[in-house]
């Protein structure tokens, strides 16, 4: 028995090693997650579903073998510095939340250099509109929608939750956002120093209008902001400064800092292979279950 388990583990490692030559790191992580049990308990009833007016597509995940209606809904945006990423590569994140009882929508969005600010926010708002209009077809409750994302995806979460313009432009009531989870997101990063931020925000007349911190408001939906002491990509001051501003205004905000974790490890901890790295999933689910409790 032990020998068979060892051979299976070696086969998995070898297979993942071969796949690594052809696959992005998040996609490789999704393969490992699925092989180690993350693939059981979640299903994907919708794949490459068109939305918006720019040829965007999204996937929908939910608990496997479950017919319950009106489940809480989570829209998850992946990161990638506004220049890369693919919804399919983040199956590990979608499955983790689906297995916890959520209907999960994972949209793609346009990237730099083909577009710049605010195209990715417009795509995000159109994904919220699609979710409002169609998530009930997959068992989701359009009255209980939360947003979540990592890195550049967390930026979209914060901007859609705080700056009413983007949802209103799509004919969506900003109040539809019941809560937001931002993992390692940039919220206070002007002046722009990183190349990706410079490229993504190039040409903006008023840089303040790109900063989630600028739109902090007392009536913001509850936000969970997760950062980590080892994050040298999007440094902790982003989450700390936004949380401080929201608290001063009386808005509901929760700040979590995982001291030793890196930028990547915060989101990797949603996967089965790295779940022990940080309580990202447990903290997110506890927060969402409270924020999305039926009224």
- Tell me whether residue 16 is in a domain: no
140-150 and 71-77: which strand pairing?
parallel
Residue ranges making up the domain that contains 107? 26-291
- Tell me whether residue 168 is in a domain: yes
- Tell me whether residue 20 is in a domain: no
Contacts with 223 (C-beta within 8 Å, 6 or more apart), sequence order: 158, 161, 179, 180, 181, 182, 243, 246, 251, 252, 253, 254
Mean pLDDT of 38-62: 97
What integer pLDDT is reported at residue 23 of this predicted model? Answer: 67
What integer pLDDT is reported at residue 10 of this predicted model? Answer: 36
Task: Determine contact, residues 219/247, Cβ cutoff 8 Å.
Answer: no
Name the average pLDDT for the chain.
93
Task: Report the alpha-carbon angle 112-133-290, nearest 5.
Answer: 85
Q: Both ends of the chain: CA-CA distance in Å? A: 51
- pLDDT, tens digit (0-9, with 9 covering 90-100), for 11-44: 444 444 434 444 689 999 999 999 999 999 999 9
Of the listed ranges 2-16, 174-188, 274-288, the least confidently predicted one is 2-16
- Tell me whether residue 179 is in a domain: yes
The total domain count for the chain is 1
- Tell me whether residue 148 is in a domain: yes
Is 70 exceeded by the pLDDT of residue 277? yes
pLDDT band at 8 (very low <50, low <70, confident <90, very high): very low
**Which domain CATH number covers 44?**
3.40.50.1820
What integer pLDDT is reported at residue 140 of this predicted model? Answer: 97
Residue, of 65 and 9, whose pLDDT is higher:
65
The full 3-state SS of the chain, as one line of letters, equals CHHHHHHHHHHHHHHHHHHHCCCCHHHHHHHHHHHHHHCCCEEEEEEEEEECCCCEEEEEEEECCCCCCCEEEEEEECCCCCCCCCHHHHHHHHHHHHHCCCEEEEECCCCCCCCCCCHHHHHHHHHHHHHHHHHHHHCEEEEEEEEEEECHHHHHHHHHHHCCHHHHHCCCCHHHEEEEEEECCCCCCCCCCCHHHHHHCCCCCCHHHHCHHHHCCCCCCCEEEEEECCCCCCCCHHHHHHHHHHHHHCCCEEEEEECCCCHHHHHHCCCCCCHHHCCHHHHHHHHHHHHCCCC
- Tell me whether residue 21 is in a domain: no
223-228 and 253-258: which strand pairing?
parallel
- pLDDT, tens digit (0-9, with 9 covering 90-100), for 230-256: 999 999 999 999 999 999 999 999 999
Is 60 exceeded by the pLDDT of residue 86? yes
- Tell me whether residue 19 is in a domain: no
- Tell me whether residue 287 is in a domain: yes
């Amino acid at each position: 028995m032990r020998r068979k388990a060892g051979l299976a583990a070696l086969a998995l490692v070898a297979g993942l090693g071969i796949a690594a030559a052809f696959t992005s790191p998040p996609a490789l992580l999704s393969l490992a997650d699925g092989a180690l049990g993350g693939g059981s308990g979640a299903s994907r009833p919708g794949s490459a579903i068109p939305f918006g007016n720019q040829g965007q597509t999204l996937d929908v995940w939910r608990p496997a073998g479950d017919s319950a209606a009106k489940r809480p809904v989570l829209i998850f945006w992946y990161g990638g510095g506004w220049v890369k990423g693919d919804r399919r590569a983040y199956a590990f994140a979608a499955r983790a939340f689906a297995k916890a009882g959520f209907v999960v929508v994972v949209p793609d969005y346009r990237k730099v250099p083909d577009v710049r600010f605010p195209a990715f926010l417009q795509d995000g708002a159109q994904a919220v509109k699609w979710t409002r209009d169609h998530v009930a077809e997959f068992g989701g409750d359009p009255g209980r929608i939360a947003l979540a994302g990592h890195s550049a995806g967390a930026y979209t979460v914060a901007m859609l939750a705080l700056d009413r313009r983007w949802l209103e432009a799509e004919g969506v009531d900003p109040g539809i956002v019941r809560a937001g989870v931002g993992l390692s997101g940039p919220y206070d990063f002007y002046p722009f120093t990183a190349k990706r931020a410079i490229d993504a925000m190039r040409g903006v007349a008023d840089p303040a209008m790109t900063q989630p911190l600028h739109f902090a408001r007392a009536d913001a939906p509850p936000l969970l902001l997760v950062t980590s002491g080892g994050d040298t990509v999007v440094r902790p001051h982003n989450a700390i400064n936004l949380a401080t501003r929201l608290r001063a205004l009386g808005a509901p905000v929760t700040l979590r800092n995982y001291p030793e974790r890196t930028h990547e490890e915060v989101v990797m901890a949603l996967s089965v292979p790295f779940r022990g790295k940080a309580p990202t999933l447990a903290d997110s689910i506890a927060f969402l279950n409270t924020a999305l409790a039926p009224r």
